[in-house]
Each structure stands twice: as C-alpha cells, then as structure tokens.
Amino acid sequence: MTDRRPPARPGYSLGRPVVPGTPFVDPEPPREAGEPPTGRSSLPAELRRARTRRRAEPSHEPAAPPARSTATAPLARDTAQRRAARRRALADPDGAVRAWFADHGWSPFGFQEEVWESYLAGESGLIHAATGTGKTYAAWMGPLIEWLRAAAPAVRTVARLAAPPLRILWVTPLRALAADTEAALAAPVRDLGLPWTVETRTGDTPAGVRSRQRSLLPTALITTPESLSLLLTRDTAAALFAQLECVVVDEWHELMASKRGVQTELALARLRHFRPALRTWGLSATLGNLDAARDTLLGVDPDGAPRPGQLVRGLVPKVIDVDSLVPPTIERFPWSGQIGLALLDQVVAAVDEGGTTLVFTNTRATAELWFQALRRSGAAWADRIGLHHGSIARADRDSVEAGLRGGTLRCVVCTSSLDLGVDFTPVDRVLQIGSPKAVGRLVQRAGRSGHRPGAVSRVTCVPASALELVDIAAARAALEAGAIEARPPVERPLDLLAQHTVSVALGGGFTSDELYHEVRTTHAYRDLPPDEWAWILDFVTRGGQALRAYPDYARVTEIDGVYRVTDSRIALRHRLSIGTIVSESSLTVRYVSGRTLGTIEEGFIARLRPGDRFVFGGRPLEFVRVRDMTAWVRRARGPANAVPRWSGARLTLSPELARAVRDKLDEARRGIYDAPEMREVRPVLELQAAWSRLPATDELLVERTRSRDGHHLFFYPVEGRLVHEGLAALFAYRIAQLAPISFSLAANDYGFELLSPDPAPIEAALEGGLLSADYLFNDIPASLNAAEMARRQFREVARVAGLLFQGYPGSGRSAKQLQASSGLIYDVFARYDPDNLLLRQAEREVLERQLERSRLGRTLVRLSAGRVTLVDVERPTPLAFALIVDRAREQVSSEKLADRVRRMVAPLERAAGPAVPRIATLRSAGWDGPR
Amino acid sequence: MGRPAVSVVPGDLSVTVAGEAVTLIPERAIYWPRVQALIVADLHWGKAATFRAAGVALPPGTTTDDLARLSGALRRTGARQLILLGDLFHARPGREADHTLGAIAAWHARHPALDILLVRGNHDRRAGDPPAELGIEVVDAPHRSGPFVLRHEPAEDPEAYALAGHLHPACIVTGAGRQHARLPCFLLGLRGAVLPAFGSFTGTSVVEPRATDRVFVVAGNAVIAVPA
C-alpha cells in the first residue's frame, strides 16, 4: 500500500465515517424486529452460510478470463499500480474491499455487509435508506467480491486480464444520474485493479460509444428503463445477457408507482428468462409500503407466489426539524391567494444564515421566478446562485451541480430534479417553497441537509399562500406521527404490454405460451387472464379481434407459432417510440449564435410574438422565431415579463397529509391553535369561521354564492385535488341528471367548485343521494365521459400502445402523415371499436391512478356517514377564493350541444354593445391535424 | 353582411356571399342552390388506412361513415354537382388500400350521375389524383366558377370571391358560467370564405377571425351564427 495516491474524499458517505457523532442511526442489529419475515432473515447464521456455499457452486460459473480476449472492450490503462492492487484483491477479496473503505476514511456499515452477504448467498432484495448514505456501495461490493473470489483460482497472471462481458446492469430512473453513478461505481473498480469496464448507455450516450457497445457491452452497464427495453429489441438479446449476474434498480421508489416501473418489471422478467438465477436488488427511499416495493421488484414465481427477497434497512435520518417563514406583519399578508415573492426578504435572510442552501420549488416556473428574485435581491451572494430544473440544458445543469460540489455556489434554486442522486453533496440548509404536499417529499428534501456529524436535518418551509401554513403545520404533525406515504404499484397496463410484446417480437421473437407465462411472473401482470393476453396478441397482429380484424394492418407477424416483426420501418418506428413518458410537444431553446439552453413547451412559444421577452434558465431572453423545431432567441436587453409554464403534473396532497390537514382545521374550529403556523393563519381561519364555518372532521361543508360569473357551489372534503376532480365530475353528473344544466368545474387540495349559469338544484340532489356510494360502478364512468377525462387520459395510453407516433428525431424525416391527436384517435375507437381494451384501460387509469378510486370510494363513505352543512355566503370565503380564480376547468353538461351553444351565444345577440369578445382567439395553438 | 334567408331545414343557415345565396349545412358543407352544387373541403379519404398501413392499429369505418354523410347531404339538398376543395385523399398508402377503394367505389355507384370537380390540395399532390374510373374532373387552383374562385389554400383573389379549405378552422365559443366549447366553423370574410374540414378523422385548428369576418359554428346538427 505504498504507491497508492491519496484517495479523493467524496462529499457523500461511502460507509460509516471513522469519526464519532454520525447523525444517522446505524441499526444494530440492522434488521428491525418489526419487519415482516422474509422466510430467510430469521434463519440461523450457520444455516445461511451453508446455503451460501450450496447456492454459490452451481450458479456462478467462474468468470475466468475468456478466450475471446481480443474482442473485449478497451480496458483502462493497465498500470503496474493497478496490477499490484489486483494481486492484493485476488488474494483476499473481502479484506481488499474493507481496506478500500479504510483508505477513504470509512468502515462498512452493518447493513452494507448484510447486503453483500445476502448477495453472495444468491439472494435478491430491497435496500431502503436515506439518499447519500451508502446504498450504492451496499449493492455494488457484493458483485465485486463475488467476481474476485471466483476469478482468483483461475487467474494465473494478473497482467493483461480481459474485461468480462456484461455481468451487472444498473438501472437508474434519470439519465442525469448516470454519470454520477458511473463515477461512483468506477472508483473501487479502479482502486482494486479490477479488469472490469463500467459504462453508461442512455439517450445521451454518444454514437461512437453506442456503436462500440453494439458488439460488446461493458462488464457493468448503467442504463435507464427505456434504454434497457431498447437492448431487448435486439435479435441478439439472449447472447448479450448470457453472463448477467445481477440487476440493481436505483431509486426504485421513483419508478415503482409509474408505468416506467412496470416497464422495468417486464424487462426483469425477460432477463430472468435468459438467466433464471439472476439476482435483483432495489435501492429505495423509505416508503409506507416497503414490502410491496420489494415484491413488485422481484415479481412472482411460476406458481404465482411472491419471490423471496430480503428487506434491508439502511440509515435513516435521526431527527428532522420542520419550521417555516412567516411574514413579519399579518397586515402584509393577503388573507388568501398567492403570497408570491412577499417573503423574499426572509428567504434572503435564511440563506444568509446558513452555508450552502438548496431552495426547492414544486414547479419549474416557480423556480425561475425565485431565481430571478434572489438574483436581484442585492444579497452578497447574489452572483453565486444557480438554477436547476429538468428543462435546462444538461451542460448548464452539470455546471450547477459542479458549482454546488466545489463550493462556488452559495445557493441553488431547484425542482425535484435535485431530489435524487448518488453523488450529492449535503448542504447546510434546505428551503421548501410552497406546500410540500406529501410527508415523504419533505423527509427526502430535508435529508439533503445535516449530514455533518452532530447536525440534524432541517427544512424551512415558505408558504405560497396563507392556507399553506396549515399544510406545513399538518406535515409536521404527520411526520411526528410517522405517517410516510405508500406508493401503489401500477397494475396490468395493457398499453405497455402491447409495447413490450412488439419489443420481444423484435428481440428474437416469441411463442404465445412462453411469453404469456413470462409476463405473468411480473407483479403487474401476475393475474393477467388468458383472454386479455389473446386480445394483446390480436391487437399487435390483426388490430381488432379475430372476426373484426383491421384491414391492411400488420405490426407483428406470426409464422409457425413464432411472433416476429418483419417490416423494417415498423421496427424503426417502434424503437423510436419505446417508453412511457408522454411529453408535451416541446422545442429546443437556442441562441441565434448557436448555444442550446434547454427545452420549452410549444404551447408557451405559440403565444409569443417576435420581440417578446421571457425568462428561461435564469436568463432574460428575446424571442426571435421558431424554425426546425427550435425556438431561436437572443439575450434580451430589457427586463423580461413572462415566465414559461410547463404543464408537468401538479402535485396533490397525499392522503396522510390530507388527514392531518382536516385534523388541523378541526382543531382551529375548536379554538386550538398550537403550532406556530396555525397561530399565524388564525385571522384567516377566523374570517372563514365568521363568514361561513370551519368544517369538522365528520362534516362536509358546502357553500353557495352568486357572482357575475354565475352560480357557485363550493364543497370542501379536504381530500386532495385528484379525489376532488373525481368528486366534482361525479357530483356535476348526478346533479345534471335532475335537469338540463351545464357546469364548469374547478378543484384544488381543499375542495372543488361547480359553477353554472343557472342555480343548481343542490337541495334536491342532496336529498336524492348526491353523496351516496351506491351506483358508483355506473355513475363514475358516466361522469368521466361527461367530463371527457378518459378521453384525455387516452393520450398516454395511445402513446405507449404505439398509436401516437411522436416523430423521427432530428430534422429531415417527417411523419406528418401519421399525426393525429389522441382525442381524435379516442373518438375513432369509441365509435368503431368501443370494446377495445385500451379504452377500458384509459378509464381504469383515470379511476385508479388519477382519481384514486379506492380513495374516492372511501371519501364518499366518509362523507355520507357524516353530516352536510349548506351555507349561503354573500361573497367567496377564504377557502373559496383560490377555487374561484382557478381558470383550468373541466365541463359537464346535460344539455344538447346545439342548445348549449345557442344559450352561450344568446346574451350577445341581445346586447348590441361592445361586450367581452366571445370568440377566444389563440393563434396556431391546438392544431391537431395535418393541413 | 348577408341578409338572412329562409332555412332549408332547421339547423341549416342561409347567407349571401358575393351576391350569391348559399346555405351552410351542419354536415360541414356549403350548398349553392343556383347551380345545385354541394361544396366540401378536406375529406382526407383513407387517413385511418394510411395509419394502418404504417402499423398503427386504427379500426376501419371513418371513411365509410364520411361517405355516408356525404351521400346524405347530396340526397337532402338534391345536389347534381359536387365540388371538392382539395385534400380528397390523405396519403398514397391509404389511397391504395383495398378497403378504402372498395368503400369509395360503392359510394360512387350510388351517385352515378353526379358531376364531381376536385381542386387539388397539398395532400392531393402527394397522394396522386383519384382513380380514373371515378370520373372526377381534377383541376389546379385557382379555378373560376360563377362569382367564385375555388381554391384549397385560402388566399385573396383579385378577380372573385374565394372559397377554400385547408385550415380546418375552429373557434372557441364562451358563455356565462365560464362555459366554453371548441367547434368547427365557417369563416366568411369580405373577399373569401373558409370551410370546415369535412373528414371526421381530421383535426381542427383554432383561428383568429378578422373583425370583418362572419363566423358560423357547427354545433351537433345545427349551424349557429356567432356574433363578433
């Protein structure tokens, strides 16, 4: 150990620091008594070791230097130093790994060693711990030790060892994390002198590397679910993965509750088909349903029983402090609506206090606003702040991350784009702008701070409206009660199964029985009935079912029982369409001088005229023109007046937090204001109580008022926006059954509004069972159709199932003849193939994921068991105000379209004066068909 | 502004353009009584078939239904002439699909005496002219006919009032209670008119009418004037 250069000391932890006072609890013993038995964890150590030996023998062929050494990927320069390290490592694999930790000033945590042991015993599992606490090396060292142990007897000389072919796949949800992961994984490989290659393959990988990887994959490949699916479409897929030992899925909590998670499940099933002894390890943040997270990752065995696996608890932060900033005087505090940047001075003061600070926002537009404001604040560090969000060009994000790591940036304003990450430097202080909306998010963001020995994790919330003070107080209460959200896995999405089926048809082909049994080993499709599988096969081969095959259609062809794709254009389009992410049509933002700044939605650009100024990536820009799917800009001379909007998913209050909010409102009703935030918001809540009421936990408050806009009904179940959208559509539908009426609907986390030109028969509706949980089976789909919600959800389904083609990358080739909006396609299906299962899936997705049907049902049961209070109010109350200004609205009508339009137009025909223009105009927006 | 005339049936709307009485009908067409001509734009025959040929699973039926709607409009107006303002076929693969051609041949057999004129549009140039056996007269824009000049892409013409399509125009009508509806529309300007797209599997594009334009939306089975 003489010539080893001083190890770089990363800012994140590799293992247990060899200094006292770590802020983390290292669970001793690492397994908690309360954790559910896996059937294995409780085995005596003797038995486990015996099984280790038994399992290790048949399943791990020695990874001795293969004969094909000339064809291997280029090996990093093999120096004398590396050879010396390799010699030591081969002589004593376990000792070398321990020594490597020691060289970096750490020693392995108990949970890390437990994972290595399980891995070496041939087991799979899930590791959960806070970000940056050594999960990566917990999963990584097992494979290294295994190779060293197996290779040692076969290695005659440590020189000129060829890199083994692909052994480890490391799946990461964000391309942005791949580079950090690669660096983290490569460090011990280099220091231990292993002949392994560690490479990345994502959408960002340069063409040269990709083409090299075509012939040979590295020993360890870091990739995304989409790039993994693409590898599976190669006809050589089986050979590519022939030596695969382990798949590690990083940030599994981010993937598991989405279709990307199911995409990963399907890919894992395929890989297990190639390699039955494959081990799978997931890395996750703490969740409310960790067992489900593990079972979803590992899938089921052919008998349908969950595959066994470990659940290993890593390090969790000991203490999290939640506090908040409030305006100095209540008079400056708008009683409702947006506070906006009114708290800027306090935010500046908070950044002044600490060292490096992360300012988290919930949306990219808010991040842009706060970045601008902080930059102009006149603070001493105003020129040392950065902006980080998902639409900013990679290079700019990299330089912000580097600035944070290197200490040149004092403060970074960011979105969830910085929620994840292996190599992430802890900061001194974390601010959260706006309600955290979920307890888990608050924990995760707070975990970015306080890694210093002896420090606590602390997060300071900055309310964006007065009522968000209630959210903050509720979040603290829920956190103290240990209420962390569960993330439900996605069940059986047929659009994705159709996509996967075409992928496998490309990747060497399949027979029906074989693939059916394979996909049934995933958690998502474990109950896939034979008729749905038959439907999928019909869909990809004939379009419709046997008797109603679509003319002139073929995507997958069946020859002698083997399904394959034979048309190369279909193959190309499929490869370009793999994935489940539906993005708004977006344009690249570029300076006319050439530099790329990021991406922006077409809908925003469509509203700009040349010369208009807007802020993007923290820079004031002047819009020049759109050409070649690029928005050309130049640096603006004057101040910008517009901030782009990105239509990313709006966060919704989690069930845990919603319950805590209802409790806080009930406390306020009883005059209990114990939390500091509750004391601040007290005047607003007392105003609400004076004008109307504060709802009790067993009470549904309904307010009725009239304005120039029409007749308003406000309902406050306080169940989160998604449930409220469903309830709004359901209630509007049920009321509209009593008489022809048209509603426009608005919903937020506290309640929803039904607005109509005429008074709604609310009393009759309440008597007639408006809140009843009966007939939901009929009423909910009917109300979804009335509000066109399924039609909108169909966009994602159509995209994943290959009905919407988003075009060829780059310019040159156009797919204009294949452009149609998902709404049009939905209408065609609804009319000409109404039994199409993709339509049912769109409905199911709205119900289960968007509206959280079970939560909707539970809410109705809760509401119908309680009491309803209908209050007539003179003007909108504090609770109503935010709803009344919300312009994003759904509509439900029981009038005939022609009658409805005649009524809309009628007042204008009477009033000759220059009334409000009745034809809304929007240049070039919303085009959804070819000209 | 045109003087209102008597509707042919409820839902139709008669107006005068370029001194000529015409009827806007909710099938998304204009009927020109003096020469007994039905005028439509942007039919995009075989569009779904084009998708199917590219491996996109879309059920059949759109073109067949559009043809039935066209037959219905021809029958109830008693038109003897059909004027197509461009984009008859969507693309070549759909134009060549047996299923599409069969449906079109069956439709044509139902209207043996009909005179059909196609003014070529941008899609027609790529998809190719319709099969000769349909007996469709095909011309390039602009094509003069009575007081009108027939085109696909809207443009002012120094000689006559232009009738065109291409834009697939729609507008958003708003009303009390924050009601709004996006509807296909006819745009009648001082120098030319734009028809809504006839094809059902075609999108719409929201247009910004000029102050002098008259706007008529198609709402279900009625054409309704929208005051500016």
- Quick one: pLDDT at residue A421? 59
- Quick one: pLDDT at residue B169? 96
Could you report the per-residue pLDDT of A438-450, keeping only the tens digit for each? 998 888 888 787 6
Sign of CA dihedral B191, B197, B202, B208: positive
Could you report the per-residue pLDDT of B82-119, keeping only the tens digit for each? 999 999 999 888 777 788 889 999 999 999 999 999 99
The alpha carbon of residue B148 is apart from the nearest alpha carbon of chain A, in Å, by: 22
What pLDDT band is residue A202 in, cutting at 50, 70 and 90? confident
- Which residues are bridge partners to A599 per DSSP? A588
CB contact under 8 A, A828 and B62: yes
Q: Which residues of A touch B217 (CB under 8 A)?
A: 901
SS3 A888: coil
Taking CA A668 as the corner, what is the angle to CA A667 and CA A674, rounded to the nearest 5 degrees? 75
Lowest mean pLDDT of A58-72, A157-171, A790-804, name the range: A58-72
* Maximum alpha-carbon separation in chain A: 97
Q: Which residues of A touch B226 (CB under 8 A)?
A: 905, 918-919
By Cβ distance, the residue of B11, B57, B208 closest to A553 is: B57
By Cβ distance, the residue of A544, A755, A928 closest to B59 is: A544
- Residue pair A850/A656 in contact (Cβ under 8 Å)? The answer is no
The alpha carbon of residue B90 is apart from the nearest alpha carbon of chain A, in Å, by: 8
B 130-169 residues inside an 8 A Cβ radius of A: 166-168
CB contact under 8 A, A904 and B208: no
For residues B29-57, average pLDDT: 93
Q: Which residues of A touch B198 (CB under 8 A)?
A: none
Could you report the per-residue pLDDT of B58-72, keeping only the tens digit for each? 888 899 999 999 999
By Cβ distance, the residue of B177, B205, B208 closest to A744 is: B177
Kindly state whether A924 is in contact with chain B, defined as any CB-CB distance less than 8 angstroms.
yes
Kindly state whether A377 is in contact with chain B, defined as any CB-CB distance less than 8 angstroms.
no
> Cα A46 from chain centroid?
41
Contacts of A291 (CB under 8 A, 6+ apart): A36, A311
- Quick one: pLDDT at residue A766? 93
What pLDDT band is residue A585 in, cutting at 50, 70 and 90? low
Contacts of A890 (CB under 8 A, 6+ apart): A725, A728, A729, A744, A745, A787, A788, A789
Q: Which residues of A touch B128 (CB under 8 A)?
A: none
CB contact under 8 A, B50 and A901: no
* B1, B58, B174: best to mutate for the A interface, most A CBs within 10 A: B58
| CA gap A912, A332 in Å, rounded | 43
Start-to-end CA span in chain B (Å)? 12
Could you report the per-residue pLDDT of A806-832, keeping only the tens digit for each? 665 543 344 566 777 888 889 888 888
Averaged pLDDT of chain A:
81
For residues B107-132, average pLDDT: 93
Residues of chain A above pLDDT 70, percent: 81
| CA gap A799, A173 in Å, rounded | 19
| CA gap A358, A459 in Å, rounded | 10
The alpha carbon of residue B30 is apart from the nearest alpha carbon of chain A, in Å, by: 19
- Quick one: pLDDT at residue A39? 32
What pLDDT band is residue A328 in, cutting at 50, 70 and 90? low
Kindly state whether A911 is in contact with chain B, defined as any CB-CB distance less than 8 angstroms.
no
* A497, A538, A553: best to mutate for the B interface, most B CBs within 10 A: A553
| CA gap A762, A783 in Å, rounded | 17
B60: nearest CA partner in chain A: A550
The alpha carbon of residue B47 is apart from the nearest alpha carbon of chain A, in Å, by: 8
B90: nearest CA partner in chain A: A817
CB contact under 8 A, B224 and A756: no
CB contact under 8 A, B208 and A922: yes
The alpha carbon of residue A551 is apart from the nearest alpha carbon of chain B, in Å, by: 7
Whole-structure pTM over 0.90, yes or no? Answer: no
| CA gap A283, A294 in Å, rounded | 10
User: Which range, A586-595, A658-667, A802-811, has the best average confidence (pLDDT)?
Assistant: A658-667
* B13, B174, B178, B204: best to mutate for the A interface, most A CBs within 10 A: B178
Q: Which two tokens stand for residue B66?
A: 């559009």
By Cβ distance, the residue of A744, A801, A908 closest to B178 is: A744
Q: Which residues of B touch A544 (CB under 8 A)?
A: 57, 59
Is pLDDT of A336 > 50?
no
Residues of chain A above pLDDT 90, percent: 40
CB contact under 8 A, A919 and B91: no
By Cβ distance, the residue of A550, A893, A931 closest to B52 is: A550
ipTM of the complex: 0.89
CB contact under 8 A, B122 and A920: no
How far CA A283 is from CA of A34, A126, A315, in Å, comes to: 20, 6, 12
| CA gap A201, A188 in Å, rounded | 20
For residues A607-614, average pLDDT: 84
The alpha carbon of residue B101 is apart from the nearest alpha carbon of chain A, in Å, by: 12
- Which residues are bridge partners to B12 per DSSP? B10
- Quick one: pLDDT at residue A51? 34
DSSP conformation letters of B23-54? EEETTTEEEEGGGTEEEEB---BTHHHHHHHT
The alpha carbon of residue A335 is apart from the nearest alpha carbon of chain B, in Å, by: 25
DSSP conformation letters of A28-44? SSSS-TTSPP-SSTTS-
CB contact under 8 A, A897 and B98: no
The alpha carbon of residue B91 is apart from the nearest alpha carbon of chain A, in Å, by: 7
Could you report the per-residue pLDDT of A248-259, keeping only the tens digit for each? 999 999 899 889
User: Phi/psi zone of residue A806: left (φ > 0), alpha (ψ -120 to 50 degrees), beta?
Assistant: alpha
- Quick one: pLDDT at residue A76? 53
Could you report the per-residue pLDDT of A752-779, keeping only the tens digit for each? 999 999 999 999 999 998 988 887 777 8
Kindly state whether B222 is in contact with chain A, defined as any CB-CB distance less than 8 angstroms.
yes
DSSP conformation letters of A12-77? S-SSEESSS--SEE--SSSS-TTSPP-SSTTS-HHHHHHHHHHHHHHH----PPPS-GGGSPPPPP
The alpha carbon of residue B84 is apart from the nearest alpha carbon of chain A, in Å, by: 15
By Cβ distance, the residue of A551, A744, A921 closest to B97 is: A551
Q: Which residues of A touch B41 (CB under 8 A)?
A: none
Start-to-end CA span in chain A (Å)? 72
CB contact under 8 A, A900 and B219: yes
The alpha carbon of residue B217 is apart from the nearest alpha carbon of chain A, in Å, by: 9
* A540, A573, A905: best to mutate for the B interface, most B CBs within 10 A: A905
Q: Which residues of B touch A817 (CB under 8 A)?
A: 50, 54, 90-91
DSSP-derived secondary structure letter, A196: -
Lowest mean pLDDT of A12-16, A470-474, A653-657, A879-883, name the range: A12-16
